[in-house]
Amino acid sequence: MSKYDEIAHYQDFEDLLKILKESNNNYDIKKIQKAYTLAEKAHGDQRRISGIPYILHPTSVACIVAGFGMDTDSIIASLLHDVVEDTEYDLNYVRKEFGKDVANIVDGVTKISKIKLYTREEQQAENVRKMLIAMSNDIRVIIVKLADRLHNMRTIECMKEQKRRDKSRENMEVFAPIAHRLGMKAVKDELEDLSLRYLDPVGYKEIEDALLLKENEREKFIDKKKKEIIKASKLPGSKITVYGRVKSINSIYRKTFLKGKTLDEIYDFFALRIIVDEIKDCYNLLGVIHDLYTPIPRRFKDYISTPKPNMYQSLHTTVIDRDGIPFEVQIRTWEMHQTAENGIAAHWKYKLGFTRIVNGKKARELDAYISRIKDVLAAQIDTDDSTDIIRNIRNDFDQNEVYVFSPKGDVFNLPNGSTVIDLAYLIHTEVGNHMVGAKVDHRIVSIDYKLKTGEICEILTQKDSHPRRDWLDICKTSSARSKIRQWFKNEKRDENIVEGKMMLERELKRSNISLTDEELEELLQFMLKKNKFNTVTDLYASIGYGGIQLWKVMPRIKEEYNAKFKPEEMPPVIVKNATPRRRHASSGVIVEGMEDCLVKFSQCCNPLPGDDIIGYITRGYGVSIHKRSCTNIPEDISTSEEPERYVKVSWEDDINDNFRSTLEIVCSDRTGVLADVTIALSSMRIFINTLNSRSIGNGRALVTATIEVFSREHLESVIERLQSLREVISINRF
């Protein structure tokens, strides 16, 4: 393409004024004129690579934006979009002369232009799209940027091939999908077609030629159908517009080259579009079309009653004429047509003038958001209270995510409030573990610096550096936190043990609990199984690195302490001193394959002779005996973590020993209940280890009794006896 061809794609200020005057919008022409004068002065002698005066580029962009029907500020921002970056006039100047909205749009467009967008990875492309939308705190930023991009693509012929390809790929991956989401089909189609031309020149040419060959045939066909339809519709010519729709080359390319179809196989290769004034005419015409031609089953779609997420509305149907030629028909109103072509930009004619509407919105939610705008715009006709509507939209858009770059241009997506620590661990665990600091936009920042969308962040690392404990409180993401904990867990076991024990003792002291080391170990037994620890030392280590958080477990520890160690307020006649017992296998349980091994009865289920039991080989405490039904024993041992630790055990035939069992007795809460229970137990010569009661509301009390019995039958008879007491409501074996 020569210079003379390229100039065809430029428009000057006269063209802009003409577009503005022909529109029905109320533009501030004086202010636009002032902006043009500044742009002209600022760009001065600057030229495009092709040699064309630079000022014609922003003027052309302004023409495109005006063509969308956008407002005065958007047109001014288009005229000034390259001024701040390329000339001596800065943003403050623009703000002073044209207001903060214009300055904000110019700033947004400039920032986006500085970002290296090209990326090969699918995931990255989605992040880039999301980030661009997040960076555009005003939707007009994206609209001006799309127009800028479109004009640059129209005039890219004189650029180097590599540059053309890079830009084209950016369009395919980033800008065209954004235009699609915003419902700006005209921009999307043109960007894609221009890009395809540089990405696959041969394929593009093939389709272009085929279309040209068919052009004559197509025109005849369309003309015939047009006449048939208008005649059958019985509408006056001024009320109905019918024309042949040329599909975008890119969409034909996708269907032929990517889906392996021939041009003849594409149903909507011949396509008609019918535009009418009213919705009811759309449905009437659908009936007319289906009478005239044979509809192809399942090819009818009603996007009027169910619009697409990007606001698109139309009726679609594909029919076959008497000659057997299939063609697609789209039927819509003029208003729908505007929306179909220009999407979100079409809605500026409502003069809502709302801004900052897609602030930080995730791309997936953008679709939902746009359909919401549509609802809001529809509702606005009734209420006409636009300030309320704007407020509603803004509140809907809290910033949930930030997008930042690595110096290489990779985009990272983090929850809002994330610090440089979170980014470091997101990049790689090793980067986090060796971080010494960070630079944001080339300046050193503190470690608790909260990242903002669009910033370039470099993580500084050093081989011998490692995480600090206070990072756990600074970082925002749970993944960073767990990686930091993991590091402390692996690297600092000895320190963690000391630290963890100290932390626990401090907490216990605060609760006025003082225990010997041995008692403390016994107290903590209940936590081992639950957390899959083998020893109390493991537990301390975990507390030390933060795997177990004390504030979470302290209430349970205190409960356990109260149940097992707290001196009870008991009726003095009954209670004897409880003595901690250790048993050997000979005294009650036979462990299969092991003689004389240390046997311990678990505290969690207190098995009794007669219960179905199982043994678990602990590390250092011999075999602990559980009821088979104990919640700490996996239901299916063969699939448990260490199945080899479970051993078969059985009760000896003659057991002359007592076993501990805990009963929870719910009874009516009145004085004397505890005495009644204790009297009943002592009348059966039952040894009571501990006994306490507390009110549980509703006029009820819970009595917890740890007693000694010699078998399950024995216990059952005790339960039976207690149940006969008038006050007792229910009894649970604990």
What residue ranges bind Mn ion (CB under 5 A)?
Answer: 82, 148
Containing H/E element for 363? Answer: helix 363-383
Among residues 80, 119, 136, the alpha carbon closest in space to that of 103 is found at 80
CA angle 600, 605, 608 (to 5 degrees): 70
Q: Between residues 152 and 284, which has the closer beta carbon with respect to Mn ion?
A: 152
Strand order in the sheet with 646-647: 583-584, 598-601, 623-627, 613-617, 646-647
CA–CA dist 369, 392 (Å, integer): 12
The end-to-end CA distance of the chain, in Å, is 89
Count of CB atoms within 10 A of residue 153's CB?
23
Task: Give yes or no for a contact between 323 and 353, defined as CB atoms under 8 angstroms apart.
Answer: no
Count of CB atoms within 10 A of residue 350's CB?
13
CA–CA dist 78, 67 (Å, integer): 12
Task: Give yes or no for a contact between 188 and 180, defined as CB atoms under 8 angstroms apart.
Answer: yes
Q: Is 121 helix (H, G, I), strand (E, B) or coil?
A: coil
CA–CA dist 691, 390 (Å, integer): 66
Q: Between residues 85 and 219, which has the closer beta carbon with respect to Mn ion?
A: 85
Annotated catalytic, 382? no
Q: Which two tokens stand for residue 17?
A: 């004024």
Q: Which residue has the closest beta carbon to Mn ion?
A: 148
Q: Between residues 106 and 199, which has the closer beta carbon with respect to Mn ion?
A: 106
Task: Give yes or no for a contact between 549 and 481, defined as CB atoms under 8 angstroms apart.
Answer: no
Q: What are phi and psi of 264, to 5 degrees?
A: -70, -20
Longest dimension (CA), the chain: 115
Q: Between residues 6 and 82, which has the closer beta carbon with respect to Mn ion?
A: 82
Contacts within 8 Å (CB) and 24+ apart, 20-24 = 20/66, 20/75, 23/66, 23/69, 24/349
Q: Between residues 148 and 341, which has the closer beta carbon with respect to Mn ion?
A: 148
**Minimal distance, residue 57 CB to Mn ion, in Å:** 6
CA–CA dist 518, 525 (Å, integer): 11
CA angle 513, 666, 674 (to 5 degrees): 70
Catalytic residue, chosen from 85, 375, 495, 642, is: 85
Q: Which two tokens stand for residue 72?
A: 């005065």
**Minimal distance, residue 48 CB to Mn ion, in Å:** 10
Burial class, 25, CB count within 10 angstroms (exposed 0-12 / middle 13-18 / buried 19+): middle
Catalytic residue, chosen from 6, 71, 73, 86, is: 86
Q: Which two tokens stand for residue 592?
A: 């299969």
* DSSP state letter for 257: I
Q: Between residues 56 and 718, which has the closer beta carbon with respect to Mn ion?
A: 56
Q: Which two tokens stand for residue 527?
A: 């936590």
Q: What is the 3-state secondary structure (H, E, C) of 243-259?
A: EECCCCHHHHHHHHHHC
**Minimal distance, residue 215 CB to Mn ion, in Å:** 34
Q: Between residues 38 and 585, which has the closer beta carbon with respect to Mn ion?
A: 38
Half-sphere exposure of 312 (CA within 13 A, CB side): 22
Which residues are 320's β-sheet partners?
Answer: 294, 326
CA–CA dist 712, 718 (Å, integer): 10
Could you write out the DSSP letters of every residue in 514-535?
---HHHHHHHHHHHHHHHT-SS
**Minimal distance, residue 85 CB to Mn ion, in Å:** 9
In 571-683, beta strands by DSSP E: 583-584, 589-591, 598-601, 613-617, 623-627, 646-647, 649-651, 659-668
Could you write out the DSSP letters of every residue in 288-303?
HHHHHSEEPTT--EET
Q: Between residues 6 and 148, which has the closer beta carbon with respect to Mn ion?
A: 148
Annotated catalytic, 88? no
**Minimal distance, residue 409 CB to Mn ion, in Å:** 20
**Minimal distance, residue 109 CB to Mn ion, in Å:** 8
User: Which one-letter amino acid corresponds to residue 101?
Assistant: D
Task: Give yes or no for a contact between 357 and 139, defined as CB atoms under 8 angstroms apart.
Answer: yes
Which positions are catalytic?
Answer: 85-86
